[in-house]
Structure 1
Amino acid sequence: MHQTDLLNVNETMNYWDTLSDDEIIKKFKEQGSWGLYTSVDLKDCDPATIRDADRIKQFIVELCDLIDMKRFGEPTVVHFGPCEKVAGYSMMQLIETSLVSGHFANETNGAYLDIFSCKEYGPKVMAEFCKRFFGASSMTTHVLFRD
């Protein structure tokens, strides 16, 4: 990877912050991208919520309804981790157009969510929903078009 490639990646990440969901979706369609990917990193989440498998399943259902994604099967939510640093629930939900996944870190009360779909959705509305649902104090998001 060249230095100019790194600059373009950084410019792209900052660029999305200036656009509305409608503008992002318009660009997604105009470019004929194959998929829309959003990563959402949440800090200082409500400990009770990220440690509750039923609440995480509720989150998956509500998120898929919000972004109009048809769930394929039931969500998978499993608690594991080889050490305290990474222990917590991981979740996965197949959707007809790809996948919603994430991991919740007990030690830091963090959440790391990934939403990928070849059908467009509003990444900012989705990310704000995630932040509210888990009671996070801060959020970092990245939006990528996959070609």
Structure 2
Amino acid sequence: MPDSPTSAAPAKLAEYRRLVHNGLPHYGQHLIATALGCNESILSIETMSEFLKTMADEIDMVRFGEPIVARFGGGIETGISGVQLIETSAIVIHTNDAHRDLYLDVFSCKAFEQSTVERVLDEYLSPTTTTSEVFYRR
């Protein structure tokens, strides 16, 4: 009978949970960032598509296809949403046109540098304020 997800052997879990944070194995690293008051590049579907590709490349991820990026919503909730699938998970953005704000999620079971994500964000969008937090997922 095949192993159930909860009965995996410790060796298999070590392969699955290959990121080590504070001495404990984790499955993935999840960065959540908020960038407020971005420049006019945030309004361009083409630029946001390039942003997603560049982000994946700069944090050393393998892109899976082209990003999907579209503007939709209505009124004050109009903005761009986009996703770049990567072999180890995804990079997702949501923006707000009216306020030029961006909400970013980077999740991967391969480690990446928070400072690199912040640098790419600054280079593309020059936000007036950026906050980011990293979580490790078990």
**TM class, shorter-length:** 0.7 to 0.9
Q: Distance in 1 between matches of 2:42 and 2:131?
A: 17
Greater percentage in helix: 1
Q: Does 1:74 align with 2:74?
A: no
Unpaired runs of 5+ residues, structure 2, are 1-18
1:59 matches 2:51: yes
Unaligned ranges ≥5, structure 1: 1-25
Give the % identical residues: 29
Using structure 1 for the length normalisation, give the TM-score. Answer: 0.77
- Is 1:114 matched up with 2:102? no
String of CA shifts for 1:87-107, please: whole Å, max 9, x gaps.
Answer: 111010110000100111011
2:61 is paired with a residue whose SS is coil
RMSD of Structure 2 on Structure 1 (CA): 1.5
> Which residue identity lines up with residue 112 of structure 2 in the other structure?
Y
Name the TM-score, length of structure 2 as normaliser: 0.81
Tell me how far 1:114 sits from its aligned partner: 0.4
Superposed displacement of residue 84, structure 1: 1.9
How many residue pairs align between the two structures? 120
The one-letter code sitting in structure 1 at the alignment partner of 2:56 is: C
Confirm whether residue 140 of structure 1 aligns to residue 128 of structure 2: no
Contact 1:46–1:134 (CA<8 Å) still a contact in 2?
yes
Q: Which structure has the highest strand share of the two?
A: 2
1: CA distance, partners of 2:70 / 2:23: 38
Aligned pairs (5 A) from 1:1-147: 28=21, 30-47=23-40, 49-81=41-73, 83-147=74-138
